[in-house]
Amino acid sequence: MKHFLGVWDISSNDIKRLFSIALDLECYLNMSHSDSVQATLSPRWEKLMGTLFLEPSTRTRISFEVAMKRMGGDVVSVADGKSCSKEKGESLEDTIRTMSQYVDLLIVRANEAHGCWGQKNFACPVINGGDGGNEHPTQALVDAFTIWKCFNTLSDLNVAFVGDLFNGRTVHSLARLLVRERRNNFYLLGEPELPHTYFFDTTSKKSVTKEEFLDILPNIDVLYMTRMQSERGTKGGPPFVLGKNIVDRMHRDAIVMHPLPRLQELPRCIDDNHRAVYFDQVKNGVPVRMALIRWLFEKW
């Protein structure tokens, strides 16, 4: 049985295959106003997905639920930790184990960073929808798909991660995914810093000051902004606030990404810039998660 608890659970080759499936699915979704396409896309599928979300979520939970419904399956949802027995003191491991008995696939957003997967005593495939300040591997797939569509590759890129690098789980998972590709360079702007363990090849990673960051900005291909995670104890404002004139110093094909929700680090005045792709990331969430569900159930 396959699970997807971290990006290490899928090979680099399978990721590329998943992306080409997601591209096809995206085409279908774009045409889905046509009844005949809708019928092909979602014949009834006797699979039931559970979503167990113990932290707030807009994009991850809804895009998973939409993905499953577009594929013709059904969904049961715990959208709030207060409405399940975890509130009575049940361990997360037992709650996951219990829910996995009822469904064919379970998406879990946990409020614990490490070890919540226990002995992996799950009765169905489980997907990590974000575990505390640790990992968010499906967001990494969505982000990588967005990058791949823009650059036609996941290699030879200069990537800057800016914001809460210590507690920002989307950064952790995307760094782990991109570090496996070839000749990517990473520039980090944020305090406290991203734990060293996310980068195997230390020569490709450089922590930069705000001044150094502004100097290298014209060479950056992917600028990945994140919010400060105050709910995880991060104090203070963002290390950098993006401005209109700053984005204009990036090269023409560079992109500005953000997993959202955004706070003051990414003002709305950037939204009209052609480099802003964060709402494309949002949209890509559905086809990528549909393709991931197929990967879980199919032999590749």
Q: How many distinct helices (H) and strands (E) make up the chain? A: 9, 9
Closer of 130 and 238 to ligand NCD (Cβ): 130
Q: Is 60 a catalytic residue?
A: yes
| Catalytic option among 2, 47, 59, 232 | 59
289 binds ligand NCD (CB under 6 A): no
- Catalytic: 109? yes
- For residue 186, the minimal CB distance to ligand NCD (Å) is 19
CB of 165 to ligand NCD, least distance (A): 12
Choose, by CB under 6 A, the member of 70, 86, 97, 169 that binds ligand NCD.
169
> At CA 223, angle to CA 217 and CA 229, rounded to 5?
125
What does the longest C-alpha to C-alpha distance in the chain come to? 56
Q: Which of 109, 227, 258, 289 is catalytic?
A: 109
Q: How far is the CB of 172 from ligand NCD (least distance, A)?
A: 10
Q: Which is nearer to ligand NCD, 2 or 59 (CB)?
A: 59
Residue 264 burial (C-beta neighbours within 10 Å; 0-12, 13-18, 19+): exposed
Q: What's the closest the beta carbon of residue 74 comes to ligand NCD, in angstroms?
A: 23
**Which one of residues 204, 208, 260, 280 is an interface residue with ligand NCD (CB under 6 A)?**
260
Cβ 263 to ligand NCD shortest distance, Å = 9
Report how far residue 210's alpha carbon sits from residue 176's, in angstroms, rounded to the nearest whole number: 24
Q: Clarify whether 172 is annotated catalytic.
A: no
Active site (annotated) includes residue 86: no
Strands (E), the chain: 48-53, 74-78, 105-110, 126-131, 158-162, 185-189, 205-207, 222-225, 255-257
String of DSSP letters for 143-183: HHHHHHHHHS-SSS-EEEEES-TTT-HHHHHHHHHHTTSSS
Interacting residue with ligand NCD among 111, 146, 158, 170 (CB under 6 A): 170
Q: State the Rg of the chain over Cα.
A: 19
Binding flag, residue 232, ligand NCD (CB under 6 A): no
**Marked catalytic residue, from 88, 235, 268, 299:** 88
- The verdict on 227 binding ligand NCD (CB under 6 A) reads yes
- Taking the least distance from each CB to ligand NCD, the nearer of 105 and 225 is 225
Instruction: Please say whether the beta carbons of 255 and 104 come within 8 A.
Output: no
Smallest distance, ligand NCD to C-beta of residue 295, A: 19
Q: How far apart are CA 58 and CA 77, in angstroms?
A: 13
For residue 59, state whether it binds ligand NCD (rule: CB under 6 A).
yes
Number of residues that bind ligand NCD (CB under 6 A): 11
* 59 flagged as catalytic: yes
Tell me the three state secondary structure of residue 220: coil
Per rule CB under 6 A, is residue 158 in the interface with ligand NCD? no
Q: Residue 136 interacts with ligand NCD (CB under 6 A)?
A: yes
Q: Give whole-number Cα distances, 72 to 23, 46, 252, in Å.
A: 19, 8, 40
Quote the crossing angle between the two packed helices 137-151 and 169-178, to the nearest 10°.
50
**Residues at the contact surface with ligand NCD, assessed by CB under 6 A:** 59-60, 130, 136, 139, 169-170, 226-227, 259-260
Point out the residues that are catalytic: 59-60, 88, 109, 136
